Chains A and B, each alone.
Chain A
Amino acid sequence: MAHIPEVELTARQGAGDDHRLELGAKPALIVVDVTLGFTGSEGVGLEAAITEYPNACGPAAWEAMPAMAALIELFRGKGMPIVYTRADTGGQDYTGRASRRMGRRPGGVPPGFGDFPSAIAPRSGEWVLAKTRASAFFGTPLSVYLTRERVDSIVICGGLTSACVRATAVDACSNGYDTFVVDDACFDRSPFAHGSNLFDLGAKYAEVLSLDELAEKWRPA
C-alpha cells in the first residue's frame, strides 16, 4: 500500500470498497503462471533473470514463493480444487501472445519457460491448464470445471499482478464468483504496478488479503 496516495485510501473507505466477502463452502485456488518464464531462476537478480527469460520478475517472484507454497498447501489440506495455469506456447504460435507484444518470441520460447518451481509444483489430480491469453478464463474450459466442481468462490495467486492475475480476477468476478486475491502470494516486475493493481482489484472485483488473513477467514465446510 506504500504506493497508494493517502487520499485515495481514505476515499476508498468512504465508498464502501473495503466490503468483506465470504469465503464459500467450496473455494478453488487458481495459481496463475508461476513458471520459470515468469519467475526466472532462483537466486539471480532481476537483470540476470530477464536475460534468461524476458518476462521474468526475478526476486519479487521468489519472495512470494513461500506464501504461494503455503497457500497451495492450505488448499491441499482442505481438499479443495487447485488449478495451475501456464502459457500455451504452442497455441500462441497461432493466436499471438497474451500481451501486446503479439508476435512469436524472437529466438523461440526459452527452454524451461513452462516449468514449475519445485516449491509450488502441481501434483497428480491438480489441473495444469494451458492458456493463450491473460485471463485463465479466456478461450479455456476453466469455467466448465468450476461449474462441475460446484465451486462458489475463487482464490487467486501468482503473476503478474498487473497482467494475468488481474485479468483472471476480473473474469472470476464477472463469472459470478466471490473472488479473493492473496497479495503476498502475487508478484510483478514493477512494485508500482503490483500495488496499483491490487488497489484496483480491491476496489472493484475482489477482496485483497494476505495469506494469514485468508487462513484466518477460512471456515471449514
Chain B
Amino acid sequence: MKAWMERIPEHERAGLQAGQLELGRKTALIVVDVTYGFTGSEGLTLEETRQEYSTAVGPAAWDAMPRVARLIRLVRSKGMPIVHTRSSANDQQFVGRATKKLRTGGKLSIDFGEFPEAVAPLEGDWVLEKAKASAFFQTPLSIFLVREQVESVIVCGVSTSGCVRATTVDACSSGFRTFVIDDACFDRSWFAHCNNLFDMNAKYADVLSVDELEEKWNAE
C-alpha cells in the first residue's frame, strides 16, 4: 500500500483499487505551478523556506522534484504536449490571488515564477499564466487541448489540495480522461495531500505513480 493510502481509514479503502482509465492516443501533461514560489530554495527546512515565500512547500517539493522531472521526460519521450502553469503576478494585481490568503515573504532573490532547472520548460512547451487555482479557469488552456485532439490529461505539481485538485476536477469536467501522478504532486500538508488524492481517485481521476503510469503507457 502506498504511504498516502495509509492515512485513509481502513473501512474507506475499498475505493482505492487501481484505475481503469485508458490514456488513449493523445495525452497532455499539465505541470501545475512548480515554481520557486511554491518550492522554495533547495535544501531548506519548511520553516526556513517559508521565510522565503509563505507559499513554499520546501522538503516535500524537493523530494518530489526528481519524479516530476522524470514524468516530464517520459511525456517528452512520447512526443506529447506539455503545459507548465504558473501564477500571473500581473493579472493577480487586478483579479486577486488564487486563494483567500495573503502572500508574504519574497525574501528569495529568485523570482516567484521561476522554474527549478530540473523541471524547466523547453522550447515548444507552453508556459501558461493563470490567476486562479484551476489551470482551466478563464484561461485558453482548453483551446489548446481541443486543437491538439488531446484525449487524456496527466496532472502533477503543487499543491495537491489546491491548484492540482482544481485543475483535475476541471480536466475531468471538460471531458478528458484524467490522471494524477501521486508521487509527482506535493503539498505543504501531508494530511491534505493524502485526503485529496483519495477524493480525486474516487471521483475525477486515476491516481497513479510515475512507475505505474510508465508501465501502463508502455502496455497500451
Query: Residues on A close to B: CB < 8 A?
Result: 83, 88, 91, 93-96, 127-129, 132-133, 138-145, 148
Answer yes or no: B144 CB below 8 A from chain A CBs. Answer: yes
Contacts of A139 in B (CB 8 A): 138-143
Q: Is the CB of B143 within 8 A of A141?
A: no
Q: Which 4 A-B pairs have the closest CB atoms?
A: A139-B140, A144-B95, A95-B143, A141-B138
CB distance from A168 to the nearest CB of B (A): 15
Answer yes or no: B90 CB below 8 A from chain A CBs. Answer: yes
Query: Which of B91, B138, B140 lies at the interface centre, i.e. has the most chain A CB atoms within 10 A of its CB?
Result: B140
Q: Give the contacting residue for A95; candidates B91, B93, B138, B140; CB below 8 A.
A: B140
Q: How far is the CA of A129 from the CA of B93 in the complex (A)?
A: 11
Q: Pull 23 A–B residue pairs with CB atoms less than 8 Å apart, ordered by A.
A: A83-B94, A91-B128, A94-B83, A94-B128, A94-B140, A94-B143, A95-B143, A95-B144, A95-B147, A96-B147, A127-B90, A128-B90, A129-B91, A132-B140, A132-B143, A138-B140, A139-B143, A140-B139, A141-B131, A141-B132, A141-B138, A141-B139, A145-B94
Q: Is the CB of B132 within 8 A of A144?
A: yes
Contacts of B19 in A (CB 8 A): none
CB distance from A21 to the nearest CB of B (A): 25
CB distance from A96 to the nearest CB of B (A): 6
Q: Give the contacting residue for B96; candidates A138, A140, A144; CB below 8 A.
A: A144
Contacts of B144 in A (CB 8 A): 94-95
Q: Quick one: closest B residue to A91, CB to CB? A: B140
Contacts of B83 in A (CB 8 A): 94
Q: Is the CB of B95 within 8 A of A148?
A: yes
Contacts of B126 in A (CB 8 A): 91, 93-94
Q: How far is the CA of A83 from the CA of B91 in the complex (A)?
A: 11
CB distance from A136 to the nearest CB of B (A): 11
Q: Is the CB of A141 within 8 A of B95?
A: yes
Contacts of B94 in A (CB 8 A): 83, 127, 129, 141, 145
Chain B interface residue count, CB cutoff 8 Å, equals: 20
Q: Is the CB of B143 within 8 A of A145?
A: no
Q: How many Cβ-Cβ contacts under 8 Å join chain A to chain B?
A: 58
Contacts of B147 in A (CB 8 A): 95-96
Q: How far is the CA of A127 from the CA of B95 in the complex (A)?
A: 10
Query: Residues on B close to A: CB < 8 A?
Result: 83, 90-91, 93-96, 126, 128, 131-132, 137-144, 147
User: Which label, helix, strand, loop or mixed, suits the secondary structure of the A interface?
Assistant: mixed
CB distance from A33 to the nearest CB of B (A): 16
Asked whether A143 and B138 contact (CB < 8 A) given A91-B128, A128-B90, the answer is: yes
Contacts of A144 in B (CB 8 A): 95-96, 131-132, 138
CB distance from B39 to the nearest CB of A (A): 24
Contacts of B128 in A (CB 8 A): 91, 94
Contacts of A132 in B (CB 8 A): 140, 143
CB distance from B166 to the nearest CB of A (A): 14
CB distance from A46 to the nearest CB of B (A): 31
Q: How far is the CA of A133 from the CA of B142 in the complex (A)?
A: 13
Q: How far is the CA of A133 from the CA of B146 in the complex (A)?
A: 15
Q: Is the CB of A133 within 8 A of B140?
A: yes
Query: Which of B90, B128, B144 lies at the interface centre, i.e. has the most chain A CB atoms within 10 A of its CB?
Result: B144
Q: Is the CB of A127 within 8 A of B93?
A: yes
Contacts of A96 in B (CB 8 A): 143, 147
CB distance from A164 to the nearest CB of B (A): 15
